[in-house]
Amino acid sequence: MGSVTDIQLRTLYRTLLVFATVGVVILAIGLIQFAYFERPGQASGVKANIVGVYKYDPAAGQTTGPDRAEYARNEEFAAVVDWSSIPSNLTVDARWYDSFGSIEGEVGPGTPAGLTNDKVVPVQVPPGYHFVLPGRYTFVVERLQDGVPVEVLGRRFVLVDRT
């Protein structure tokens, strides 16, 4: 019986190793996926000038007040980008991401010169909602290559309170 036990145990052990091999393949695919979207050697040294994040009046399409990093839930806000701070040969865009990683407002992609009229980038209230969702918002100005964002040229974080 001892040898039968050993054979059974070995079968269990080998099955586990086979599963682990599948696990290694999955993790390797994950690393490749990460490397594809977070391509090495993409640092251009360019910095986008995000002037600030201000309270936004959607009816007038204008920003008001001081630059802030925290807003109440019933306030709308927008980032202001100085597109002239970015070299004109780059393809760029600007996006707001909410805490779930969803895009809640964007301009571009295009050249900095083409986006000059879009210097105010407001956060959109999701369709059917009364207010923006609370949580941490990330605003980024990105450089694109072959349609894929490859580098963040500027970044700001804004906290939207729950109350």
Partner 1 sequence: MITSTHPPAADPESKLRPSRYGIALAVSALVIVALIASSILNYVFLDTVPGRTSLYGLLAVALITLGTFILVRAYNRDRATRRVHLIRAAVLIGIGVLLWLLVIDVFLYTQSAGPGVAAVCALACLPTTAFGLWVVRRMDRNHKEPWRLVLVAAAWGAIVATSLVVWGETVWESSAQHTLVPGPGLDTSLAFMAGILEELAKGLAVLLLFLVMRNEFDDVVDGIVYGAAVGLGFNFLESISYMTNLYSIFSPEGFGGVAAGIQWYGRQVLGLFFGHATYTAYIGAGVGIARQLPTMRMKVMAIGAGFIIAIAGHFSWDAWATFFPIQNTLFGLVEIHLRTLIMTGPFTAGLIALLLFGIRYEGQNLLDQMQKEAATGQGAILPQEVPILASPWQRLRQRLQALNRAGPSGYLRVSRLQTAQLDLAMERWHRERKEIDTPLEAEQQLREKVIQLRHWVAA
- Smallest gap from residue 69 Cβ to partner 1 (A): 14
Distances 68 to 30, 60, 131 between C-alpha atoms, Å: 37, 20, 18
- The site that binds partner 1 (CB under 8 A) totals a number of residues, namely 45
CA-based end-to-end distance of the chain? 68
Give 68-129 as a 3 state SS string: CCEECCCCCEEEEEEHHHCCCCCEEEEEEECCCCCEEEEEEEECCHHHHHHCEEECCCCCCC
Q: Does 59 bind partner 1 (CB under 8 A)?
A: no
**CB nearer partner 1, residue 9 or residue 113:** 9
Binding of partner 1 by 1 (CB under 8 A): yes
| 17 near partner 1, judged by CB under 8 A | yes
104 binds partner 1 (CB under 8 A): no
Residues pairing with 63 in the sheet: 56
Least Å from the CB of residue 100 to partner 1: 9
- Is position 5 an interface residue for partner 1 (rule: CB under 8 A)? yes
Distance CA 76, CA 120 (A): 13
Q: Which of 61, 62, 69, 157 binds partner 1 (CB under 8 A)?
A: 157
Instruction: With CA atoms as reference, report the closest residue to 157 among 68, 48, 94.
Output: 68
State the amino acid at position 114 in one-letter form.
G
Binding site for partner 1 (CB under 8 A): 1-2, 4-5, 8-9, 11-13, 15-17, 19-20, 22-24, 26-27, 30, 33-34, 36-38, 73, 95, 97, 101, 129-131, 133-135, 138, 140, 142, 149-152, 155, 157, 162
